[in-house]
Amino acid sequence: MTIKEAQTTVDSWIKKYGVRYFSELTNMAVLTEEVGELARIMARTYGDQSFKNEELSQNLGDEMADVLWVLICLANQTGVDLEQALIENIKKKNLRDNERHHNNPKLSK
């Protein structure tokens, strides 16, 4: 699935099952909440914290997909073509950062 197809799929789902998009501000808060859920799994899987018994069944991929879903909702609501935005962002990074990380002594271990 391309990013454009994902944006279309989410939009179709919202219109069929979701009645309408939540407001942009609500979706921004929901995005923050979803990123927090992802952070919790990351901290417990790759960090020093341990899982609580009720958290053992949480799925990292599902939480990442939740973050992507809400980000796509925000893009749809604000008229952002995420695929084009990502292409432009990669171009910007290629110009700005093409040597930066190679010259970072902290990364050359």
How many Å is the maximal CA-CA distance in the chain? 52
**pLDDT at 82 exceeding the cut of 70:** yes
**Tokens linked to 48:** 């020093």
Domains and CATH numbers, the chain: 3-107 (1.10.287.1080)
The model's confidence at residue 56, banded by pLDDT at 50, 70 and 90, is low
**pLDDT at 90 exceeding the cut of 80:** yes
Q: Rounded CA gap, 61 and 38, in Å?
A: 9
Whole-model pTM: value is 0.87
* One-letter amino acid for residue 91 of the chain: K
Task: Return the minimum-mean-pLDDT range out of 5-14, 54-63, 74-83, 97-106.
Answer: 54-63
Is residue 101 within 8 Å of 107, Cβ to Cβ? Answer: yes
How many residues does this entry show for the chain?
109
**Tokens linked to 42:** 């990351």
**pLDDT at 51 exceeding the cut of 80:** no
